[in-house]
Structure 1
């Protein structure tokens, strides 16, 4: 009985760790997409494009 509780607790810890990693990855990718989307709205993009 004690061995099964150890397995359950290790499995639960692994699932919590994996869920935390997935949430962090999602947030980083969402932030990266926002930064790439807003890249064209900076002033320096306007004057670099007007020279061409």
Structure 2
């Protein structure tokens, strides 16, 4: 019985860690997508391209 409880606790801990990592990955990807979408809307982007 004790071994099964240890397995349940360890499994729950691993699932909690995995959910935190997945949430962090989702937030980073969402932020990266926002930055890439807004990149073309900045004025500095236009004058840096025309200097070449």
Q: TM-score range by the shorter chain?
A: 0.7 to 0.9
TM-score norm. by structure 1 comes to 0.87
Matched, 1:12 2:12: yes
Structure 2-normalised TM-score? Answer: 0.87
Task: Provide the aligned C-alpha RMSD in A.
Answer: 1.3
**More contact order relative to length (CA 8 Å, sep ≥ 6):** 2
Question: Helix, strand or coil: the match of 2:31?
Answer: helix
Deviations along 1:28-49, one digit per CA (max 9) or x if unpaired, are 0000000000001111112234
Task: Show structure 2 runs of 5+ residues with no match.
Answer: none
Q: Give the Å deviation of 1:26.
A: 0.3
What's 1:33 paired with? Answer: 33
Stretches of structure 1 lacking an aligned partner (at least 5 in a row): none
